[in-house]
Structures are given as structure tokens and as C-alpha cells.
Structure 1
Amino acid sequence: QLDIYNINGGETPIDPVSMNKVTLDRLTKKYYEDETFMRKLHDSPSIDEADVTQYDVIYFTGGHGVMYDFRGHDTIARAVNDIYDRGGLVSSVCHGASALLEIKRPNDHFLIEGQKLTGFSNREESIARRKKQVPYQLETALKEKGALYQKSIIPLKSFVVEEEQLITGQNPASARDVGEAIKLRLDVK
């Protein structure tokens, strides 16, 4: 079951860059043409309404806007800690890793401290010509919180890092592979 939540409820915005012909693959296009999926996007509940005890996985999507919305959000932190404490999976793609930046564990250490993970790289931000428009460089911020950041040698190529309960993808091209990694972990056919 796939449920979509956002920060405030209501319409879940899509980064317009995700809709261009270069990044719009066949599977993504199929979702955008699916009326049920699009209804979920147009009328999503707030993350504050989520009963996270009903979920085994939390997944943070990317897009530049989430760098503002996800980082330091209290409800996100509680949801991640709840799922993580129950042995669930915490996952993200691209800028979605910004959700993990401020999450602290009961021992007052950051969740990502000492953990291998990935997210949109500084080089990819430069290639996307957004380096001066974003509030911080995600790669740098992850490293500053103690994450053992990893990235593909080739920018914008699918790259997934699995570390215990974390499954992260570097960029939009990684979304499908993150989904596959989650399915394998959950043993979903």
C-alpha cells in the first residue's frame, strides 16, 4: 500500500524539473497518467495525520523544495524515529535526504552519524545550475552531521546506498532502484 503525505496537507507539489522529457521516464509518466495516484497527490493528508505505527517504511521524495520543508520538521523526526525504532526502513531519493539532517536519536546523536548514505551531490547541484538557489549543499550538510556520504563517480547516474535500516538514492535516476531495494528488504513480490 502506498500512502502519500506532505507537510501541510492538500496538494503535493511536483518539482517542474521532474516533468521534463529528459527526466520523465516511462514508469513515472505512467504514474502521472494514473487517476488514483494523481488524486492522492492532489489531496494528500498532512504528515501530522499519519499513524506511523501502521507503516514499515518511510520514503522521502526529492525535489529542491523539500530542502526547505523537510529539514528540522518535528513530525518527520518523530515518524522516522518511530519507524526506525520498530526495525522499519527509512529511505530517500535525491534531496529527500534533507529530511534526515536534524533527526536525533535518544542518545542525542544524529540518526545519520556514522551511517553510509547518499543524496544529491554538490557536483550534481552545479550541473543542475541550482547551486546558488538552494539554501545549502546537501552533500556538505550530510557530511557535517557525521554521515559517511557516498556518491557515484558519474553524476546523475543511479546510485543506491543501503546501510542497516537506511536505503538512500543519490538522484532522480535512483528512484526505481531504491524502490526495488525496499521491495527486496520487505520481500514483496
Structure 2
Amino acid sequence: MKKKTLITIGILVSILAILVLLLPQILKGFGYHPNYEKANYNFEGKKALIITTSHDVLGETGKATGVYPSEMTIPYYEFLDAGLEVDIASIKGGKIPLEPQGLQFPMKSHQDERYLKDEIAQQKTKESLKIDDVDFLDYDIIFMSGGWGASYDLGTSAVLGEKISQAYEEGILLGSVCHGVLGFLMAEDTTGQPLVAGKKMTGVTDKQVKELNISITPMHPETELRKQGAIFQSSTGFRDFFETLTVVDGTIATGQNQNSSGETAQKLLKMLSNE
């Protein structure tokens, strides 16, 4: 009897171990970090700028937050592998805070793992450029990454708003994913109207914010975009965390959430190839 019990326990432990090892694939099957269509490019001589938050605390909870890693690493390597020179900037400059959960098993992406072995990329995030000191007009693509931290500073930065306005006027390709879309909020068109007004855009849905119980953050993309007259689009399901959508309107490409990072970056590369 004792032997049978030990065998049963052994089998259950083995099954559990296998399930744990398969967690990344299981999450992928639900829609987390999905595969996306990729094309090969060689944009040697072109440049991309990735912008992130500098905010590192989730409200009064004291919990660490920042940019969601894959929303920075995936576009970073998409652009880098396409031959672009890629710079990384943040609202305040210096060390960029990373959402801790995003680099933990089973949440981290293949690009996150690549980043953790890439001393050059890590140095760029330890000594990120301050947006005040960056000439946005030097770049062909500007991409704003999300994460909970972005809800605190991207949508309230007058400097970011002014520079995004200038970049848009010059026809530079602009992109964002998740809460990164908040970086468009203080931008204006040449008539002084909100840049997002009348444009088809996406970002984190109010439903996803509610499902993850992170309503403590000051700005929610869907709510803020609708306030300014954007035509908000999204994919919704049983859990929006596993949904994905990329929307292109003119020179702007926006991705719904962490699952949309790669597709959004690829859309921007395709747009660059068509210029």
C-alpha cells in the first residue's frame, strides 16, 4: 500500500513538473506573446527611438512597477534586427524601471531573455536618454512602450507632447503599445486640436484594467482616448489580457496591449519600407 502511494505521489509530482515547464506554451496558446507575421528588412542608416516611463511605484501600494519589459524589448529587437540604430529614452532619463513580473517565469518573452544576456541593451536602459535632450526629428520611427508606470508620466509630459506634435508634423512614423498610447495625449495637430481626435487608435481596454484589478493608476488608455475624440478600437474576449490588435491610421500605429508589441513594430517597419 505504501509503495502504491509513493508511486502515485511520484506520478502526480511528475505531471505537475511537466505542467510548470509547459506554462509558457500554455499561456501562448491562450494568446500571451503570440506569433506574428514578420518580414526581413535592411534599414541601415535609419534610426528608431523607444520611449518609456520613469515611474517606478504603483500608487500608494509601494509595489514596484515601470515599463512592461516585453513592450520595450520586442520592438527594440525588431528594429535592431531590421538594421536600424535604436536609442532608448525615458521621461526623466537614467535608469528605467522594469515591471518585475514581466521578467519572471513564465511571463518573460524570448526577447526578454535576449535582453538579459545583452550588455549593450541593458546599458541603454541603465543610462537612458532624457527626452528633453533628444531631437525627435533625428529619427525615422518613434515608439512609446507601455506598462503601469506609463499611466503616471507619459500622458502628463508637456515635453513629450510637444515633441510628438513636431514629429507628427514632419511625417515621422509614430507608434505605441499598451499604456504607451498615453504619450499622444498632450500632442496637438497644426490647428491646436488634440492629435488623437478623429484618429483610429487602440490601447489597453478599460475591461483589461478592471480584470487585472489595477484601477489605482491615474490614466486608463481607453477612457483617455475617448475623452479626446479618438476612434477607439479593440479586440475583446473572455479575458482581454490574452487579446491583441494593432491599428494603423496614417503615420501612426498603435497596439492594444503586451501581446501587440511585435505586430505593431512590424507594421511600423512595413510603413517605413513603403516611404
TM-score (normalizing by structure 2): 0.65
**Structure 2: tracts of 5 or more residues without a match:** 1-84
Instruction: Provide the C-alpha distance between the structure 2 equivalents of 1:10 and 1:27, rounded to a whole number of angstroms.
Output: 22
Q: Which of the numbers 159, 169, 172 marks the counterpart of 2:255?
A: 169
The 2-side partners of 1:102 and 1:83 are apart by 13
Alignment partners' CA distance in 1, 2:91 and 2:220: 22
Question: Residue in 1 aligned with 2:144?
Answer: 60
Match of 1:108 among 183, 188, 192: 192
- In structure 1, what is the equivalent of residue 232 of structure 2? 149
Residue of structure 1 equivalent to 2:169: 85
Separation in 1 of the partners of 2:231 and 2:107?
28
Distance 1:51 1:108 in 2: 21
Provide the rounded CA distance (Å) in 2 between the counterparts of 1:161 and 1:23: 25
2:109 and 2:197 map into 1 onto residues whose CA distance is 34
- CA distance in 2 between partners of 1:150 and 1:4 (Å): 28
TM-score where L is the length of structure 1: 0.93
Are 2:102 and 1:35 equivalent residues in the alignment?
A: no
Q: Percent identity?
A: 28
Query: Residue 20 of structure 1 is aligned with which of 104, 116, 141?
Result: 104
Pick one of 195, 201, 204 that aligns with 1:120: 204
What CA deviation, in whole Å up to 9, does each residue of 1:55-95 have, x standing for no partner? Answer: 12211100111111111312211221121111111111000
Distance 2:177 2:261 in 1: 6
Q: Which amino acid aligns with 1:163?
A: D
What is the CA RMSD across the aligned residues, in angstroms? 1.5
Tell me how far apart the structure 2 counterparts of residues 128 and 69 of structure 1 sit (CA, whole Å).
20
Question: Displacement of 1:23 after TM fit?
Answer: 3.0
User: Which structure's CA Rg is the greater one?
Assistant: 2
Greater share of helix: 2
Deviations 1:24-71 (A, max 9, x none): 111222123211100000011200110222112211100111111111
Q: Structure 1: which amino acid aligns with 2:268?
A: I
Please list the CA deviations of residues 98-129 of structure 1 after superposition, one character each: whole Å capped at 9, or x if unmatched.
Answer: 11122222312100000000001011111222
Q: What SS does structure 2 have at the residue aligned with 1:28?
A: helix
Residue 178 of structure 1 is matched in structure 2 by 264
CA-CA distance at 1:183 after TM superposition? 1.1
Kindly indicate whether the alpha-carbon contact (under 8 Å) linking 2:173 and 2:272 is maintained by their aligned counterparts in 1: no
Q: Which amino acid is the alignment partner of residue 187 of structure 1?
A: S
Change (3 A) 1:61 1:149: same
SS at structure 2 position matched to 1:3: strand
